[in-house]
Structure 1
């Protein structure tokens, strides 16, 4: 990032960090934190959809895998695999270790799915990803001995924080949860930014723009797609783990297709293939229903929600962030040059 972008990024993070101090309403902090979790998930989807051009409509599977893995590891479980008569017993693990396990397991599933899904392209790839998410939902619903099925896993322990002199404290208040989600979103943003500006990221963007040309210049397309899939799955797993330890109850609805649709909306409306796109799209379309809740009837809220999406797609087809960039450049071009500075066009002519 340029120095100007770094300054803007730090200023935005600082402003968001002050929100619990300036507006300590528990309900709104909870709403913004929930929105932040899905922004993290949207950032992960953007790595796959925005920077490699692969539309995954089963991305919620990795979100759910991270949630269930983290919850089960922190609670412990006892399950008889394949009716062997010898149960597999896992004692409760420290919460942060369970959270890390959710990220790793989601990443492993991302690698496994990429081995299968990237053999096909287009509509076939979309069908494979949707099918995988539905399979995971059915496993969560029917493997009652492990997941409790529709009865849900509850009493999931919150994430903890160690402070000198105070020991381990649970992150359970609305403000502390908000700061935790903000920290996770910042880390996810920086990880994706570091990846897409590296050699790996440039290769991903090249295959998004023209896969045939990328192959012709020696880019191993399948390898880079798998790297993107594993990274996206791991970040989605982290979002799922945050969801499990903040909501503290999960059921098979965590694999709902609507969650994937929400992530796709955040990415496309904000601007796919841009770092800030999922964040801006997530803040607008994650908070809009709550802002309209006390003002308009539910039916009118969803009409406005849908109409706004249609208008953005019609007038800003590349998304809000790219459109804002174009507007900024046009305004800069119209700005009169500073005294003593020769305009670029005249300088080139001379």
Structure 2
């Protein structure tokens, strides 16, 4: 079975299976996991294909969440004049797209600034940016409600003939929307990495001085990767805020970036399926352990699982499985080739 066919079969199973199963808790877990898989795929574009570790990637997730929530609710912005500027509520899909664009814009700004440095300095810049974003969300109470959180955020909706705009409160609809956005994100990344731009990303990851010597504009391509990754993370944040329908400064917590990094590294960085496999494994595992183990035992099992994956398959699950499959196919073809050669020698 070819890769694309197997991928579409997986999407079909994910679309039909949980809905047929009908457990709302399972749908909630898969929806939440899917949102973070989208975030992990966006991080993989930086970490896996350009080799840049962004430990502040959750900032774009949070910016997308807050922007989408504020645009959907409407807000007043005091610019220092006599009257505040009033922004009325926008349709939820307009707000969602606004969150993507604002996150991508900040990705552009951070990319232009951060890619003037490399290595540990780049990591420090991205972490600092995430902390600044969290402090703004926490202290700009007039806009974000601070620690009291923005609540009453409208869900995503759809227009139906004869019924008008129908809010999608049901978990089934939110699950399908998250699945659709995840598939679109996957296809965008796939198309990108198979293009000339993607080859430039890999060249920068493998040997940046050599890439410069052949005329690749390093800063330009790294900024492009950051903008796309930031916009995709903003989409994940928008899905989160319209699904949970409440958002507070904790959305910027560092642990969420660590979760995305774990998903990418365990699944296989620099592979298309890696964040999906790692996301499903480490997104669903805590929920499975919750039923059979105490919280402290859950964290021990979680940590041991990460150590086992990193120790035995340091390149990630997807490259390890791919290598095993290639070796198995090679062993099957080798006897047939040997028999064919022996037959020719006998006839000669």
Q: Normalising by structure 1, report the TM-score.
A: 0.95
Whole-angstrom distance in 2 between the partners of 1:197 and 1:35: 26
Superposed counterparts of 1:160-179, under 5 Å: 160-179=157-176
Q: 1:180 aligns with which of 173, 177, 182?
A: 177
- CA shift, 1:169, in A, is 1.6
Whole-angstrom distance in 2 between the partners of 1:185 and 1:161: 18
- CA shift, 1:5, in A, is 1.3
Residue aligning to 1:61? 59
| 2:159 aligned counterpart, secondary structure | strand
Residue aligning to 2:95? 98
Residue aligning to 1:125? 122
| 1:86 aligned counterpart, secondary structure | coil
- CA shift, 1:79, in A, is 2.2
Describe the superposition over 1:2-40 as per-residue Cα deviations: whole angstroms up to 9, x where unpaired: x81110111000000012332111111101100000000
Q: 2:10 aligns with which of 5, 9, 12?
A: 12
- CA shift, 1:346, in A, is 5.2
Aligned Cα RMSD in Å?
Answer: 1.8
- CA shift, 1:296, in A, is 1.1
Describe the superposition over 1:89-147 as per-residue Cα deviations: whole angstroms up to 9, x where unpaired: 10000110000000000000000001110000000000000000000000000000000
Q: Number of matched residues?
A: 344
| 2:90 aligned counterpart, secondary structure | coil
Describe the superposition over 1:151-170 as per-residue Cα deviations: whole angstroms up to 9, x where unpaired: 00000000011233443221
Is structure 2 residue 206 aligned with structure 1 residue 225?
no
Residue aligning to 2:21? 23
Is structure 2 residue 209 aligned with structure 1 residue 209?
no
Extract unaligned runs of 5+ from structure 1. Answer: none
Residue aligning to 2:110? 113
Describe the superposition over 1:277-327 as per-residue Cα deviations: whole angstroms up to 9, x where unpaired: 000000000000001111111111110100010111111000000000000
Q: 2:42 aligns with which of 38, 41, 44?
A: 44
Describe the superposition over 1:218-271 as per-residue Cα deviations: whole angstroms up to 9, x where unpaired: 111110000000000000000000000000000000100011000000000000
Runs of 4+, deviation exceeding 6 Å: none
| 1:208 aligned counterpart, secondary structure | helix
Distance 1:97 1:218, change over 3 A: same
Judge which range, 133-142 or 21-30, deviates more: 21-30
Superposed counterparts of 1:57-96, under 5 Å: 57-81=55-79, 83-96=80-93
Whole-angstrom distance in 1 between the partners of 2:43 and 2:88: 33
Extract unaligned runs of 5+ from structure 2. Answer: none
Is structure 2 residue 187 aligned with structure 1 residue 190?
yes
Residue aligning to 1:262? 259
Distance 1:188 1:85, change over 3 A: same
Distance 1:77 1:165, change over 3 A: same
Describe the superposition over 1:36-79 as per-residue Cα deviations: whole angstroms up to 9, x where unpaired: 00000000000011000000000000000000000000000012
Distance 1:252 1:344, change over 3 A: farther
| 1:335 aligned counterpart, secondary structure | helix
